[in-house]
Each structure stands twice: as C-alpha cells, then as structure tokens.
Chain A
Amino acid sequence: GAVVSQHPSWVICKSGTSVKIECRSLDFQATTMFWYRQFPKQSLMLMATSNEGSKATYEQGVEKDKFLINHASLTLSTLTVTSAHPEDSSFYICSARVGLRGPHPGELFFGEGSRLTVL
C-alpha cells in the first residue's frame, strides 16, 4: 500500500515554543489530508481537514491560530503547534487521501504519528 511519513516521531519542547510536524505522502498525491489528536486512552479526534492549496477546515473547538495547518503541495501537509503548553502534549496523527487518479484511488492512509511532549 501507499506510505505516509510523519516527522518527527517524537518531539520534546519547552513551553512557549512552536513545533512543526510534517506529513508526507511518499508515493502518491494526496488531495486531502486530515490531522488528528489522540488523548491518552481515548479515540482519535479529528482536528482539521486540509485540501491542497486552500485553507484548512477546522473542527469545532479546535483553535486555528493555535494549530496552524499548511497543505502547500499534493505531498506535504504541516501542523504547527504555536506557543505550545503542557496541555498540548498529545499524540498527533495525520492521514492522507489518495486522489482519484492512479493506484488506490480515494483510499486513506495514516502516518505513524508524532508524540509531542511540552515541558
């Protein structure tokens, strides 16, 4: 199947700093990418949906100025946690939906996730 690479896998930062997480589709073009957050012992919560070249659509309750999402190309989306605080510590996962052309049309693939710890 197709591969979605997330980087970094682990990141520790100081409170008040910003952290960028990258999500790349390695062998396909992703027309849509999704960002999720997983709280301990809970299901994944969709944070936002991003389409290449347009603004992300955020779910209710997600601060768009806090969690900046950029989907500048068909193979890369980034999530920047700005002015991170300890309560932002979480497991963040991205997924990418394959375009309708090429192999696996319309399918969804997930990254391995990024664990953020804010001290």
Chain B
Amino acid sequence: AQSVTQLDSHVSVSEGTPVLLRCNYSSSYSPSLFWYVQHPNKGLQLLLKYTSAATLVKGINGFEAEFKKSETSFHLTKPSAHMSDAAEYFCVTAGYQKVTFGTGTKLQVIP
C-alpha cells in the first residue's frame, strides 16, 4: 500500500522568506513522488517529480524537493517566497494503477 501524509494543512510565510511544505510517504517499493500546485479554481500544475534518479529534484518557479529514504520524506522548499506562490500544494505518490493524494497544504504569503 502507498500513502502520503502532508503534515501541515496551512503554512503562512512572509514574502521573501523560505518556504517549507512537508510530506512523508509510505510505500512498500521505491515510489514515484510528485508535488502539484493548485491556484484557486484552476487545475493542477506539476511543480516537480521524483522517479528514482537524483534525490534532489529541482522544479519550476524556484521550488525543489529532496527525497530522503531514511526519513521517508519528500519536503518541498523554496528559498524565497513570492506573493504568486500563495496556493494549495499537493504531495502525490503514484503506482502504475493507483494515484494517492495528500490532503493538501494551503500556503499563505504575507506581504
């Protein structure tokens, strides 16, 4: 069985400060992991993905995530938050026939 747990439902940061969105996974095999962002009333946009190549994955808009097998984590980070980063972020794990979403983390960016 595979699952992901997003540890924070809401994260609030000031503009220009670092962002950390936490995700832990559970999988009986090497997982495929993704981070998606969803702006209000919009579809999902892929930020980055991990598919067992490099453990540090760089994505779009300055986001990156590090796969840590020892900690079963795949946290999303960004050095400096921008107002346009305010959105909901989903950590996702995918097997071939099953996709599992985390419960989402709403990121608020304070000017």
Contact = CB atoms under 8 A, between A and B. Distances in A.
B101 A115 contact: no
A32 B97 contact: yes
A55 B94 CA distance: 21
Contact of B34 (A1, A108, A113): A108
The main secondary structure of chain B at its interface with chain A is: strand
A43 B6 CA distance: 11
Contacts of A110: 36, 43-46
B103 interface: yes
A107 B46 CA distance: 11
A6 B90 contact: no
Interface in B60-103: 90, 94, 96-103
The main secondary structure of chain A at its interface with chain B is: strand
Given A43-B104, A44-B90, A108-B34, A93 B43 contact: yes
A106 B49 CA distance: 12
Give the size category of B's interface with A. Answer: 20 to 34
Nearest to A51: B97
B41 interface: yes
Interface in A62-104: 91, 93, 95, 97
A112 interface: yes
A25 interface: no
A119 to B, nearest CB: 18
Interface string B27-60: 0000010101000011111100100000000000
B102 A43 contact: yes
A49 B98 contact: yes
Given A110-B45, A110-B46, A113-B44, 14 more contacts: A1-B46, A6-B43, A32-B97, A34-B99, A43-B102, A44-B90, A44-B101, A46-B99, A49-B97, A93-B43, A97-B96, A108-B34, A112-B42, A113-B42
Nearest 7 CB-CB pairs, A to B?
A112-B43, A113-B43, A110-B44, A43-B103, A43-B104, A44-B101, A43-B101
